[in-house]
Amino acid sequence: MMLKKIYFSLIVLSFLLTANAQIAVPFDTADWKIEAEEFKLTDYRGKKALQLKNGIAYLENAGFKDGIIEWDMAFPGQRGFTGIRFRIEDLSNMEEFYLRPHQSGQPDANQYCPVDNGLSTWQLYHGEEYSATCTYRFDEWFHVKLAVSGTRAEVYIDDMKEPLLHVPFLKRKPVAGGLMVYSAMAPAYFANFSYTPKDDPILINQPVAESEMDPLTIPVWSVSSPFPEKMLEKAFTLGGFQADGLKWQDLKVESSGTANLGTVAVLDREKQNTVFAKVVINASEDQLKALHFGYSDRAKVYCNGTAVYSGDNGYRTRDFRYLGTIGYFDTVYLPLKKGRNEVWVAVSENFGGWGLRGKLEDLEGVDLVY
């Protein structure tokens, strides 16, 4: 009996040690699935490296959920996007952190965002919880470490003692999945890739409570299935729109007020790039009520079936530096009638995040129905 207990203990100890061991995966092994416009295994500045241009290297069976991911990388000072994708459920759903060489020294020198149904969502998630200022060294190696624990992550460059970026709220549900390095536009070099699966790795920053949602925020939108944007080209009213074939589902917004429409709709840029998001407002009397809202990329607002707003918030639509990020940048005055009112917002997407947020100026004389 004692021998059985010792044997069992050794098995458990071996499992724990393996579960917390660093796993190095050289790029010249068959573990990686590489697809790229250009790639090669090469020696670069003293290290055996993978050079990628417009491509991916996918470690499908990593089974990574929590722990540490580390790698060395180098890139030129050109416009490019390169980094890591992790917790990959499938090639359309994952978490993502990448660096922007051309934004070196700027507040958006890097980016965390989720990828939902194939859509990277950087226009919806921006600011200090998602990006950080960093000045990169070009054409030479530097080290990147990503620590992931539950709904939090921290990013370190080289020998930083404090994280470059702390992400307090990863947006996707924590699940074990694959790992991927990638580059887009500019080439990038990768070397010394490893990961350490580990439950509850120590992060320097403590968990924080999510901020409370503004009580004026529309907390739930009813979202339709996608349809072609061209169906609304001359639709000044919805009287002729064939809505019978649409399917609807409720989508709760995040504490910021953002409804990530890409979590419930699959984008087809050529055919199915638009959804309706609707809300019912009961009014105690006829009135105009201001709706402050933001969207990505284009929107048309209908109040009781009549168009009251049309706008374009897409990338570079307002000037050549404009990113098209979401915010409460627009206001429309809703002509509410006494009783039930339906507000429908058609939101069309190109890339960068399919989203909507809205809040009323006040709740005087109105009730939201959801």
* pLDDT digits 0-9 by tens, 266-319: 999 889 999 999 999 999 999 999 999 999 999 999 999 999 999 999 999 999
* Tokens 């990530």 belong to residue: 260
Is residue 139 within 8 Å of 109, Cβ to Cβ?
A: no
CATH of domain 220-369: 2.60.120
| Tens of pLDDT, residues 118-141 | 999 999 999 999 999 999 999 999
Domain ranges of the chain: 20-197, 220-369
Is residue 120 within 8 Å of 126, Cβ to Cβ?
A: no
SS3 12: helix
Task: Indicate if the pLDDT at residue 260 is higher than 50.
Answer: yes
Spatial distance between the Cα atoms of 84 and 95, rounded to a whole number of angstroms: 9
Q: Which fold has domain 20-197?
A: Jelly Rolls (2.60.120)
pLDDT at 8: 40
Task: Indicate if the pLDDT at residue 18 is higher than 80.
Answer: no
Cross-strand pairs, 85: 96, 180
| The two three-digit tokens of residue 303, written as one number | 């109040």
Spatial distance between the Cα atoms of 158 and 128, rounded to a whole number of angstroms: 20
Which among 68, 224, 92 is positioned nearest to 156, based on CA atoms? Answer: 68
Q: pTM for the full model?
A: 0.91
